[in-house]
């Protein structure tokens, strides 16, 4: 009797993922790089000389893309060590930790933009996963309030669900223009969505308050 051949499910899954294959062929560390390329093409929110902070940066694929487009200071923060990228600073730690925040300030006195592609480890329970993702969004917004310069921009991943409008409205109150964007490369069935927020209000007063606030 012949033995049944074991199938590498994970291997076959990735081999069918065109976005993953494209990312690997182009030298990126994950398929997330292709998503960021699409996001920035449709939403060019950063200037070449901007200083950009990446929250939840592992494995570093977003910073690979940013390094190709940005000449300013790039800093990535993650709980896990990241393989070095030439010209990019990395900090291992919790981005909500005061010690980590102080290190960021030392490396990047002026933060023009923040990106956050971080997501919690997904359990498969949508309501639970979404609640944890929104909690992570709130933590990222705490960093925005502390570090992002007035007029700065934000790209942040979130997940659609019952709490999404709540976090979206919080962000709308802190930026002059906010909209959502779902890359074509998002996996089928995923509730993942990106919030594109321009012109952080901060604590200052200026004449941009009259600008139209974008919406979904």
- Domains defined for the chain, CATH in brackets: 30-210 (3.40.50.150)
Q: Look-up: residue for tokens 């023009």?
A: 112
213 pLDDT higher than 80: no
When mean pLDDT is compared across 117-126, 132-141, 148-157, the lowest value belongs to: 117-126
Identify the band that residue 15 occupies on the pLDDT scale cut at 50, 70 and 90.
low
Residue 93, SS3?
coil
State the catalytic residues. 157
Cα 108–Cα 118–Cα 12 angle in degrees, nearest 5: 130
Asked whether the beta carbons of 32 and 61 are under 8 A apart, the reply is yes
Mean pLDDT (the chain, rounded): 87
pLDDT at 123: 74
pLDDT at 180: 98
For residues 12-19, average pLDDT: 66
Q: How confident is the model over 59-107, as pLDDT tens digits?
A: 999 999 999 999 999 999 999 999 999 999 999 999 999 999 999 999 9
13 pLDDT higher than 90: no
Asked whether the beta carbons of 199 and 176 are under 8 A apart, the reply is yes
Encoding tokens for residue 53?
């902070």
pLDDT at 209: 36
Could you give the CA distance from residue 148 to residue 206 in angstroms, rounded to a whole number? 17
pLDDT at 197: 98
């Amino acid at each position: 009797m012949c033995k049944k051949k074991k199938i590498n499910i994970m291997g076959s899954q990735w081999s069918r993922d065109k976005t993953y294959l494209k990312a690997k062929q182009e030298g990126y560390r994950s398929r997330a790089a292709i998503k960021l390329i699409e996001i920035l093409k449709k939403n060019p929110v950063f200037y070449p000389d901007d200083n950009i902070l990446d929250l939840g940066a592992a494995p570093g694929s977003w910073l690979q893309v940013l390094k190709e487009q940005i000449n300013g200071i790039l800093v990535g923060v993650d709980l896990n060590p990241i393989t070095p990228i030439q010209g990019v600073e990395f900090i291992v730690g919790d981005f909500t930790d005061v010690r980590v925040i102080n290190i960021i300030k030392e490396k990047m006195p002026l933060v023009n933009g923040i990106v956050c592609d971080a997501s919690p480890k997904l359990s498969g329970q949508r309501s639970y996963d979404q609640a944890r993702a929104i909690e992570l969004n709130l933590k990222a917004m705490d960093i925005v309030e502390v570090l992002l310069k007035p007029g700065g921009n934000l790209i942040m991943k979130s997940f659609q669900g019952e709490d999404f409008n709540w976090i979206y409205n919080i962000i709308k109150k802190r930026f002059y223009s906010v909209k959502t964007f779902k890359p074509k490369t998002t996996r089928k069935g995923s509730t993942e969505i990106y919030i594109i927020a321009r012109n952080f209000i901060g604590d200052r007063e200026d004449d941009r308050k009259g600008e139209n606030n974008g919406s979904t």
